[in-house]
Amino acid sequence: MGDLVEPVSQVAQGDDVWAVREPFPSLYAREYASLVRLAMRLVDNVEQAEEVTQDAFARLYVRYEQVRSPLAYVRVSVLNGARQVLRRRRLLRRQPEARVESGALEANHVVDAVRRLPRRQCDAVLLRYELQLSEAEIAAALGMSPGTVKSTLNRALARLRTEIPR
């Protein structure tokens, strides 16, 4: 009976509420695959999607105890990392020698239309339909009210209906 037991959770103090914080390895194991899929929707490349996701988890790991909502933090980090990859691609496309490899991005009209949405609308659509988060979860991840999430999704879907050929 003298075995040491590894703690299952750590206690973190919020403003005035004590919450049980999930251990980092279990958060990583549970969310990694879905966050890679989320990044994949934006970057269209498995290796880059995995790299973006791993970078997001690495940033979270460093400040895990200080982050109020680790899951929301890593989700937004993945979205931001994928956007950074797309910005780099756009810059490369402007260079004449890089135009030859443009290929896959124009193939899926829906994905292209979602990428053209304003940042908040794109994030909300991806979190809602790729990760299937509730409005409350999206609100927590993006730092907005649930009502704002509803109106943002409504505007995004209205715009997508006009842009996507049927």
Q: Name, in order, each residue with C-beta under 8 angstroms of 133's C-beta and a sequence gap of 6 or more.
A: 127, 141
Q: How many CA atoms lie within 13 A of 28 on its CB side?
A: 14
**16 and 98 part of one domain:** yes
Tokens read off for 83: 């956007």
The Cα-based distances of 130 to 63, 75, 87, 111 in angstroms read 26, 12, 21, 11
Tokens read off for 113: 């239309």
Comparing CA positions, the residue from 76, 60, 71 lying closest to residue 142 is 76
Q: What residue numbers bound the domain in which 25 lies?
A: 10-102
**87 and 144 part of one domain:** no
78-82, 94-98, 125-129, 159-163: which range is least confident on average? 94-98
What pLDDT sits at residue 105? 40
The answer as to whether 130 is a domain residue is yes
DSSP 68: S
**113 and 164 part of one domain:** yes
**95 and 126 part of one domain:** no
Q: What is the pLDDT of residues 2-39, one digit of tens each?
A: 443 334 444 444 444 456 788 999 999 999 999 999 99
The answer as to whether 1 is a domain residue is no
**118 and 82 part of one domain:** no
Please say which residue of 66, 83, 102 terminates a domain. 102
Query: In the structure, what pLDDT confidence band is assigned to residue 166 with cuts at 50, 70 and 90?
Result: low
Q: What is the pLDDT of residues 123-154, one digit of tens each?
A: 899 888 888 889 999 998 889 999 999 999 99
Note the pTM of the prediction, 2 decimals: 0.59
DSSP 140: H
